Amino acid sequence: MMFVKRTWKLFLALSLAALLLLLGTGTVWAQGPAPTGEYRELAGVGSRLAVWMAAQLHLNFAAFVLAVPMFALVIEFMGWRRKEKRFDRLAHEMARLLPPAFSITAILGAMMAILLFTLYPRFMGYLTDIMGPTMWVYPLFFLAETFSLYFYYYSWNQLQGNKKWIHLLLGLALNIFGTAILFTADSWATFMMTPGGVDEVGNLTSLYNAVWNPGWMPLNIHRLVANITLGALLAGAYAAYRFIAAEREEDRAFYDWMGYTGNLIALFTMLFLPFVGYYFGFELFSYSATYGVTLMGGVLSWLFIIQAIVIAVLFIGAAYYAWLGLIRIPGSEAQRKWTPVFNVVLIVGFMVWATPHTMAASIEESTGGFHPILGALGVMAPKMIAVTLILVVLYASYLLYRRAGRVLTVPWSRTGNIIQWGALGLTAVAITVLGVVGYFSSAETRIDTSVLQIVVLMIGIAFTFTLDVFLLRGSQTVAAVRWGSMPQRGQYVLIALAFVIVWLMGLMGYARSGVRLNWHVFGIMEDTSAGAGLPSLGEAAIVITLITLIFFALLAVSFAISGMMGRDPVVEAEAEASRGQRLQAAGERA
Amino acid sequence: MTRVRQYAVATAPALIILGFFVWFANWIPQTEWDPPEKQDIGASMTPAQLADVGQTIALQRGCLACHTIEPGSGVQGGGRGPNWAGLATRRAQGVDGGPGDLVEYLAQALYEPGAYLVEGYADIMPAATSAPAKLTYEEIVAVVNYLQSLGGTPSAKLGDIPRPSGDTAGGVAATGGASPVEASVKDPVAIFTAFNCGNCHSLDPGVVLVGPALDAASLKDTASGRGVSPRAYVIESIVNPGAFEKEGTLSGVMPPTFGDQMTAGQLEALLDYLLSSGGGQ
């Protein structure tokens, strides 16, 4: 009976979500086929806008349902190995967000496919001709992922104890099938950008090369990392809302910890995002240098100024939340005094990152030259210095966070500290020197120095972190972390970060698709439809914001459904027992 | 505070930040982009008219995202590509070891930009006939005229510049698909004419048009220099034009499809004609 009630509610909620989306996109079909048979127009909205919104909403949800199982599985595994129940509860809490979100993902995916096949029949016919076999396999992966997901979630309480490994295997299967789906869909998206496996006029010569085209693996890696960041921040926002609404102390403590974990995962993966993005961009540039020009010096160059500002908000916000978290740790005053310094460095770094090398307002106005003043900062070398130093600062703040509330006990702690911070300082100096050398060198040398900067950063992190592990060995904790004591503004930051990452994802989705300009498949099939141009960045920003708001409206419905699933009975029983023990102990002390 | 109000207050900072993004994106210069418009280019257009159209094409296809037009800056105008200002003067004699006049040089630079790179610049430009510019033959001629006008006087007309390989329009060099002669035709002069060989090659010794001279003595000398028999050299050059491209002539211009369009008998007849006195007056 309970199951029927839940199913009915689920159906109602999803129907409402679908209706909301239909109203949002204003889906009104034009009558009859277009004269050419190549395109149909969606009256009132426009084909491109309808596909854009459906695709981006689908991608946002897909990223969420692919990412959450990744860290849910890792957290569950950690809980199993460490025998810590709170990890298992956290993983379960994250997994409970999946079933409704998964259904919405499927609905949006179907909507996108229907829009594409009906509005762009010639293009989709061609794509099907090339990628047909992968499109047949795709639903099988989807079916396998569906079974894995529902078994994974609904068998959580049954598969505990000595059956936990079966549950972990289910989680692993869920992740494997989810990743297979991502990689398959990426092959279609990247074939449109960097087509491979076809001759000059687009005839298929090798399906393998069509799938493994030059942009495929870079986008796979980029999306994997970015999805985890997105999923972690959305889980963090969920925790923030639950924290705000929590009436019990233990719930507040739990959701504070969940928010902290989400932000930590996001911060960690954000360290890699600039590099995997650079890798993707580099492969695009290698395929056709005009991609690089369109993105960085042509019609989309101002987009990257917006991107730098959005990423700055994201990094500074995530770092601010982490620094604010020091409040939870008694004895962390020494670390807190560094936060203004770090903030200044981050802001200056992002100002350099956001500097354009030219102030051209349009492609016609562009002369290919650099601005006389801004040009010095608006090129690759200073931006690489800025980005890499930002990462050094974020890492340094993480090192300080590890120290908060702890007293080192190893006899060589003073020497170790000097070596550790000296090495980090040396890393920053080496990165700066390499950047300056690159600035005054040829483009080829500059690429080499930028790679060396990343290598130096990695070596610096590896060395200092290893040293830190030994420095903290046997250290004394001043007092336990006071989970649940995070101020409300910390929750506001978590929620804002979730909105910002979704907006950023929309912006970069627009850049990735827009960089093809008027090509369905770059160099192979031209887009001759009425909406083949690019809107202004102002208009694009409005559409991206609308997509973001619709996404969160749908996500709110999804989270509300998750909330209807009720409290986990196993967790509740344990919480009740623990509360009883605490009361009993308090009574005895009294 | 009610739950809804709590949530609204918690979401407000996020909405303010998104509002800032929208404001900023509308505050910066707006780079709206429209697909290039189709240009009407007729055979009767003068070089000056073609140059005007060429300027529009260069602006719309994004050439100036890399090239500069900075008078007095020489070849280096500060962009990713060479400066266009004064190009016609600098390249009046073409390029050493390559095309010997401005029009040929410009056509070569558009068809195969990496062939004669200007020193100090990376080989990043795609052929103008490929994506994203994807210029037609007529548009190439228009752009050549525009580039000629930067420091010189436009002079090229449609037909003066060889078509890119694979271009079926115009009939200067029929490529792909059906053969321009019936399979029964065995007359080498008719074959030579039907395939427009004379548009690019002269039969007079030492006379280089777009491609090398095809007199018997020159063909035999070149074959000898390459270490192959004259027959093998000529056959290979017809069916696979890229195999023995001669230095100083335009690269990638000769269609690679003649081998498919000619019958074996026609190829044999043409071969005999070229290597005999008939083709080598």
pLDDT digits (tens, 9 = 90+) for B34-77: 888 888 888 788 889 999 999 999 888 888 878 888 887 777 77
**Nearest residue to B83 via CA among B93, B71, B97, B68:** B68
For residue B137, CA distances in Å to A408, B142, B171, B179 come to: 75, 9, 12, 21
Q: Which of B77, B78, B124 sits opposite A289 (nearest CB)?
A: B124
A545 touches chain B (CB under 8 A): yes
Q: Which of B69, B125, B126 sits opposite A367 (nearest CB)?
A: B69
**pLDDT tens across A433-446, in order?**
988 888 887 766 77
B134 touches chain A (CB under 8 A): yes
B30 touches chain A (CB under 8 A): yes
Report how far residue A318's alpha carbon sits from residue A394's, in angstroms, rounded to the nearest whole number.
10
Max avg pLDDT among A35-49, A116-130, B155-169: A116-130
**pLDDT tens across A398-430, in order?**
888 888 888 888 889 899 999 999 999 999 999
For residue B80, the distance in angstroms to the closest alpha carbon of chain A comes to: 7
| pLDDT band (50, 70, 90) for residue A166 | very high
pLDDT value of residue A568: 64
For residue A160, CA distances in Å to A134, A148, A155, A439 come to: 37, 17, 9, 58
Both structure tokens of A349: 């770094």
- pLDDT above 70 covers what percent of chain A? 85
Looking at the predicted structure, is the pLDDT value of residue A589 above 60? no
Both structure tokens of A96: 């409970």
CB A534 within 8 A of CB A517: yes
Q: What is the mean pLDDT of residues A13-32?
A: 43
For residue A561, the distance in angstroms to the closest alpha carbon of chain B comes to: 16
CB A464 within 8 A of CB A399: yes
Looking at the predicted structure, is the pLDDT value of residue B174 above 50? no
Which chain B residue's Cα is nearest to A366?
B65
Report how far residue B124's alpha carbon sits from residue A297's, in angstroms, rounded to the nearest whole number.
14
Greater pLDDT, A1 or A553:
A553
Q: Which of A290, A302, A545 sits opposite B29 (nearest CB)?
A: A302
Looking at the predicted structure, is the pLDDT value of residue A13 above 60? no
Contacts of B155 (CB under 8 A, 6+ apart): B47, B103, B145, B148
For residue A67, CA distances in Å to A242, A318, A322 come to: 20, 18, 22
Report how far residue A241's alpha carbon sits from residue B3's, in angstroms, rounded to the nearest whole number.
10
| pLDDT band (50, 70, 90) for residue A55 | very high
Q: Which value does ipTM take for this structure?
A: 0.82
User: Which pairs with CB-CB distance under 8 Å and at least 24 residues apart come from B114-122?
Assistant: B115/B251, B118/B75, B118/B82, B120/B76, B121/B80, B121/B81, B121/B82, B122/A289, B122/A443, B122/A444, B122/B80
Q: What is the mean pLDDT of residues A356-373?
A: 52
pLDDT value of residue A583: 61
| pLDDT band (50, 70, 90) for residue B203 | confident
Report how far residue A500's alpha carbon sits from residue A311's, in angstroms, rounded to the nearest whole number.
8
For residue B8, the distance in angstroms to the closest alpha carbon of chain A comes to: 10
Both structure tokens of B64: 């100036």
Which chain B residue's Cα is nearest to A313?
B17
A425 touches chain B (CB under 8 A): no
Number of cross-chain residue pairs from A and B with Cβ atoms under 8 Å apart = 170
Looking at the predicted structure, is the pLDDT value of residue A374 above 60? no
Looking at the predicted structure, is the pLDDT value of residue A28 above 60? no
pLDDT value of residue A23: 42
Looking at the predicted structure, is the pLDDT value of residue A279 above 50? yes
Contacts of B10 in chain A (CB under 8 A): 240-241, 244, 488, 491-492, 495
Q: Which of B6, B26, B81 sits opposite A368 (nearest CB)?
A: B81
**pLDDT tens across A189-205, in order?**
999 999 998 887 788 88
pLDDT value of residue B60: 84
Contacts of A566 (CB under 8 A, 6+ apart): none
- pLDDT above 90 covers what percent of chain A? 36
Looking at the predicted structure, is the pLDDT value of residue B168 above 70? no
Q: What is the mean pLDDT of residues B9-25?
A: 94
Contacts of B66 (CB under 8 A, 6+ apart): A293, A297, A368, B79, B80, B81, B124, B125
Collapse the DSSP code of A43 into the 3-class scheme (helix H, G, I; strand E, B; otherwise coil) and give the result.
Answer: strand
**pLDDT tens across A236-267, in order?**
998 999 899 888 888 899 899 889 989 988 98
Greater pLDDT, A373 or B227:
B227
**Can you name the residues that pair with A42 across neighbouring β-strands?**
A29
pLDDT value of residue B280: 41
pTM for the whole thing? 0.75
Which chain B residue's Cα is nearest to A289?
B124
Which chain B residue's Cα is nearest to A523?
B131
Greater pLDDT, B144 or B280:
B144
Question: Cβ–Cβ of A244/B79 closer than 8 Å?
Answer: no
pLDDT value of residue B170: 39
For residue B259, the distance in angstroms to the closest alpha carbon of chain A comes to: 19
| pLDDT band (50, 70, 90) for residue A188 | very high
| pLDDT band (50, 70, 90) for residue A552 | very high
Contacts of A493 in chain B (CB under 8 A): 13
Question: Cβ–Cβ of B65/A244 closer than 8 Å?
Answer: no
A500 touches chain B (CB under 8 A): yes
CB A155 within 8 A of CB A169: no
Looking at the predicted structure, is the pLDDT value of residue A505 above 80? yes
**pLDDT tens across B98-145, in order?**
778 888 888 888 988 888 888 878 788 888 888 888 888 889 999 999
Question: Cβ–Cβ of A533/B32 closer than 8 Å?
Answer: yes
Binding-face residues of B in 139-178 toward A, CB within 8 A: 166
Amino acid letter, residue B86: G
For residue A123, the distance in angstroms to the closest alpha carbon of chain B comes to: 17
Q: If you average pLDDT over every residue of chain A, what do you get?
A: 83
pLDDT value of residue B173: 33
Contacts of A538 in chain B (CB under 8 A): 22, 25-26, 30
